Structure 1
Amino acid sequence: MTTRYTKDHEYVRVEGDAGIVGISDYAQAQLGDVVFVELPAVGKTLAKGAEAAVVESVKAASEVYAPVSGEVLEVNSLLEDTPGTVNEDAAGRGWFLKLRITNPSELDGLLTEEQYQEFVKSIS
């Protein structure tokens, strides 16, 4: 299982031909307390870089962009009732959506865990 990151602080955890998408722990910390998450419809096709979801916190509303292209297979309905799960476990139970990756080569342009940590250090 591989996890890749964008410079907008989304991650995609690759499992076979599917990817689980969410925001990084750094992103949830910057947002503060998450109070609402708007998720896409299952079956929706997303292009890399397109808006995939919206997350609202006590500080701001922010778009979550698709790190790779794909079709939404599943959304995390837990977030509708308990959006704070994103703050508690961004990389685990706080995932946003699962998609079927349609262009695996797009993963090559994303940051590895180490590259992402270096990027976060450079902006902190």
Structure 2
Amino acid sequence: MRYHQPTRDYVNRKTKEGKGKMEIIRCLKRFIAREAYRALISIRRGRTPLNKPPAERGRRLRELCVTHGITQQQVSDALGVHSSRISEIERGTRNLPELERRATLWIQTITTPNQPNQHAETLDNV
């Protein structure tokens, strides 16, 4: 609260909202706990935050959409989220790895041609 400028700005903002020092400290502790939890979960899932920055992953999602002619609106409608979330991921301004994963999976699902049924092929050859 003394030295970290973004935290100082946060404290000033909360003070102007009428919150007391103890309540502000409680809010800061909750923020830190959420950040630590997200980091631990990503490590547990095998994804460390240092793998690729959000901007790089966002470019990958954007390239996937452009390659297959899919709009942000189509992705957001399919996933039930606002299109601004997809835009934020693509621009790298927001780190939403789970939504990014769902979007990539959806695009791959609709663009991957169906694998032919091997049983049907053997019947055709008979």
After TM superposition, the score normalised by the length of structure 1 is 0.27
Tell me: higher relative CO, structure 1 or 2? Use CA pairs within 8 A at least 6 residues apart: 1
Which protein is bigger by CA-based radius of gyration? 2
Higher strand fraction: Structure 1 or Structure 2? 1
Higher helix fraction: Structure 1 or Structure 2? 2
After TM superposition, the score normalised by the length of structure 2 is 0.27
